[in-house]
Structure 1
Amino acid sequence: MEKRGEKPYSCGTCKYSCHQKSDLVKHMRIHTGEKPYSCKFCEYSCSQKSSLVRHTRIHSGEKPYSCEVCGYSSSEKSKLVKHIRTHTGEMPYSCELCEYSCSHKSDLLKHMRSHTGEKPYSCEICDYSFSQKSSLVSHIKLHSGEKPYSCIICGYSCSRKTHLNIHMRTHTGEKPYSCTACDYSCSRKSSLVKHMQKHNGDKPYSCNVCEYSFSQNSDLVRHIRTHTGEKPYSCKTCDYSCSQKSNLVIHMQIHSGDKPYSCKVCGHSFFQKSDLVRHIRIHTGEKPYSCKMCEYSCSNKSSLVKHRQIHSGEKTFV
């Protein structure tokens, strides 16, 4: 008679043991590679009958496991269990190295790689490697040029669904990321991270030539060009070149005649938004620039600079 807890059936290849002979038979197929159960609709085959039952639901569309809270249904019970946690907030999987917790075991495995630095997914074309398979799949599209995700409004296409989601916010105006220190909000998390550096005063990017430092690396790159004189952005119509892409965009409007910024009061239009802002002060009478030495105020910064020369005695030659 079998004793409680005893597992009389053991695998001769590994240390696996079990209570029932049928379980040992199933286990042995891991070693032999035997897949006796085949799908009638496709070439899929598997080692266990239960796996075939789950697979067949792909063809039949059957989803027998339903959520009692919402209308979600699934072909697999395990997926329903995971889904239920979105309602209960249960996060049974916790990281032993930090406070991270999650509802799926697979998410914990991915998270642990942030501590170990493990990157098991490698690109066969270049030296890049990734901690997640999905990141590798997206990366490979850069080599193939594949852009399967398209915007239904403007035709924009990209290699990653997340990029499309971010792009769609340019049409919807959605700005889900908000600053806790001011009214600033934005469509990208990375933009919020950069913005927050303005509040905490953190400027980790320093110029090696002068004493300037910046909160963003992109600002440092642009600043360095004031020392090197580099102008990587060139106009295809004339000889104009500049150090910043935004300046080239503004310049191209000279050739196209496009003046997208219009005054709602008089209809005057401008190439640049900053020009429109200055123009509107003609109508409002706003004079935001004030002299610290007298009561003079004006609508343009350049006018204030000229005015200060009255006090300093400095003369400029035009």
Structure 2
Amino acid sequence: MAGASSASERDDTWLCGSSSENGCVFRCRWVECTALLSCTADLQHHILNDHCAIELQSGEWSCGVIGCDAVLIDEDHARRHMLFHCFHADRQQRGREVLVGSSYTKQMTDCGHTTSSGLVFDGSPLVCEWDTCMVAFDDMFDFVQHCDEHMTALGQEDCVNNVFICRWSNCEQTIRNKNNLRWHIRHHSGDKPVACPFCGRFFANGTKLVDHVIRKIENGRLKCFLCQKTFLTERLLREHGRRHVKNYKCPFCDMTVETPSDLRDHISKRHSNSRPHQCEKCPKAFHQKSDLDRHMVVHEDRYPFECEFCPQSFKWKRQLNMHVRLHDKNADPYTHLCHLCPTKFKNGSNLSKHLIRKHQLSVPSGHSRFQYKKCADGYLRLQTERYESEKLAAQIEAIQRGEKSALVVNSDNHTSTWITIDG
């Protein structure tokens, strides 16, 4: 198989190509170990018996898998951690099968993303929170199978008013059918059916994995005319284009957004005085926990984003991106252009000040700042178009008392072209 042999060329993956001599598909990733295993069960047996049997020193030891280095505090923790490595390897094998079966990716030898053997798993017991079950597991394979058995056991009597209700702890979401509920439970259990055989990242389905791999292909790309991002297939471009389409309007202002969660976030930030998430280190408070988490970086003495060309490091990736441009002698320091005059700016903040002071523009109603989009020439200019679904356009048309929605509307001296498209 082309995909299998491609994966075998890499030394930073659990997978190796199928061999007519030994039929192996997995390689042990433990430091200085060269064992080749034929299936997940053999990999588990090898890892647990040949590597996990090491005595803990000073109450803890580090995972020996290359690139992981997780600190393991006791034997139970070590067992769960290593079993999850085996689960990860199995999902990478499934991912390789998906890529080999796709005409777009069967010849791929890399995904272009950084490989990591580290696990997003704290080593805690895996507890089933379905109804009153609360059974704990060490092995992700057993945990996933157990959760699936709950789904299989559901009968018609569990369908109330033509919907199933999720019984997982603190979740009462209604699902239309049992198959969709089965997929929903994976969000709670943490099960991801496939992982990238090259970089190791987990995905919810094979389609997302294929999209992940082909995003790095440079030739034959289709370009989004709104943001200049490029895509290999029309389906990817079409799915991306939906992100530019507004589907929901704020009931308190003229703001329109793409998703219900965006609308909730907007109302919380712009139309609510509640700031329940208080910083413990300064007087600032935030509407959402995610905002507080981003803010906490200010109080941390960490600079995780390092420049590959010099010793400097930064707290935010945006700072690093701006800095890296300084190392490119051919890079234009001016990234933002005024759409009303030839003036150029190094960032959006200065362009916003220019638009307000020089051209007397105001930030549109409902927005906290101007929005900029990348044009075909690579510069960012003021976004003056808003793309709406037909349903939203009809709602706005009703609000405007019968006026057509495909009009040029002046809002606070800021001109916006409202264009309706089929969402």
* Range into which the TM-score falls when normalised by the shorter chain: 0.3 to 0.5
TM-score normalised by length of structure 2: 0.33
TM-score, length-scaled by structure 1: 0.42
Q: Which has the higher helix share?
A: 1
- Structure number with higher relative contact order (C-alpha < 8 Å, ≥ 6 residues apart): 2
